Structures are given as structure tokens and as C-alpha cells.
Amino acid sequence: WSPHRSYIYQKRWVKLDADYLRYFDSEKDTYSKRLIPVSSISRVSSIGDQKFEVVTNNRNFVFRAENDADRNEWIWTLQQIAEEWKSKAPERTLMSLATNSATELADKSGFLELRGFKHKLFVVVARDKVFLYKNAEDYRLGIGITYIEMNVGNVKEVDRRGFDLTTPYRIFR
């Protein structure tokens, strides 16, 4: 469901793992357009006509599947993984559910310009990953754009103010 509640659905490739629900422009993309920590999912429910809603502590995401059976499978799977995450961390408070490993383990964070984006992004280095957020508020809420695994990347200074983060899939400048 596109931003600003315009009811225009944009076809996306969606992946779910133990930590994140991420969506991409296509199945060939390596870096997501958005990542939603499983830890922040509070509810998943059907809203009819192949649609379902993923409710986080701070934002709702609406998806539409190819058919009702596919929608029901997504709902069941997301509910299971969210419950599993919560059961493994019962001592966490509701507020800490909105955080993810990036917010808890940040080694370095701040605003950087990234070629291809109009505005500066909030960038967080946490262990072996670099997380990209639209702004500091999204970082605080735990809703990011993507992350880059540094075990496949390297950094090269380009000039006095810039550097390239090179991966086998893309160069972030």
C-alpha cells in the first residue's frame, strides 16, 4: 500500500526471516526498500479481499496477496514468528519491542548523504551491518530501509568528504 493512504498497491517482492519482514522492488534485488523488525509486530490480521494488515507499535502496513489462501498463509506465518520472538524475550517491555539489534548495539550513527537519495539518511553501524533509515525518528521506531552486511563489503575513501561502500551487488557512494 503506497504512502499517504492513496489505496494504490505497488507490487513488491516480500521476504521474511527470523528478524525482519523486508520488501523489495523485485525478487532479484539484494537490498530492500523497507525493513520491519519482527520484534515490532504487535498484530497481523485479515482485512478482506486478499488484504492483510501488519500492525507495529508505531505504524500499520497493508499488503494484498495474490489470493486468499496466500493471504492466510502470510497471516499465519507472521503471527507465528512474532509470537515466537515474543516468547523468547518475555522479559522485554512493550517499549523495547520497537527496537531491534541496530538500536541496541549501535557502534556509530549519524546522518550521511547517499547518492540516489534526495535527503540525508540516518546511518547506523551495528556489529557487522550498516543500517539505513530515512531519518532519526524511523531509527528510533526501528523501521528501516535496508541493511548492508559488511562481511561482503569494503570501504574505500574517495575524497576528503566521501567514501564508497562496495559490495558484490551495489556500490553505496
Residue 7 located in a structural domain? no
Distance of CA 114 to the CA centre of its chain: 18
Residues in the chain: 173
Short-list 23, 43, 41, 21, CA closest to 32: 23
Looking at 98, 120, 150, the residue that finishes a domain is 98
pLDDT at 110: 92
Q: Following DSSP, what letter does each residue of 107-148 receive, concatenated?
A: SEEEEE--TT-SSPEEEEEETTEEEEESSHHHHHHT-BSEEE
Short-list 166, 99, 163, CA closest to 133: 99
Residue 1 located in a structural domain? no
Same domain, 94 and 136: no
Residue 8 located in a structural domain? no
- Total of domains in the chain: 2
Same domain, 118 and 89: no
Instruction: Provide the grid cell at 95.
Output: 517499549
Residue 4 located in a structural domain? no
Same domain, 17 and 70: yes
Short-list 115, 114, 109, 85, CA closest to 97: 85
Tens-digit pLDDT profile for residues 112-148: 998 888 899 999 998 889 999 999 999 988 889 999 9
pLDDT at 87: 84
Reported as a pLDDT band with limits 50, 70 and 90, residue 99 is very low
Same domain, 20 and 47: yes
Same domain, 135 and 80: no
Domain that holds residue 18: 13-98
Short-list 127, 124, 128, CA closest to 143: 124
Same domain, 17 and 93: yes
Say how far apart CA 109 and CA 139 lie, in whole Å: 10
Residue 89 located in a structural domain? yes
CATH code: domain of residue 86: 2.30.29.30
Same domain, 152 and 123: yes
The answer to whether residue 101 scores a pLDDT higher than 50 is: no
Distance of CA 37 to the CA centre of its chain: 6
pLDDT at 7: 66
Say how far apart CA 119 and CA 139 lie, in whole Å: 15
Same domain, 88 and 113: no
pLDDT at 154: 86
Kindly tell me the sign of the dihedral angle through the C-alpha atoms of 18, 23, 26, 29. Answer: negative
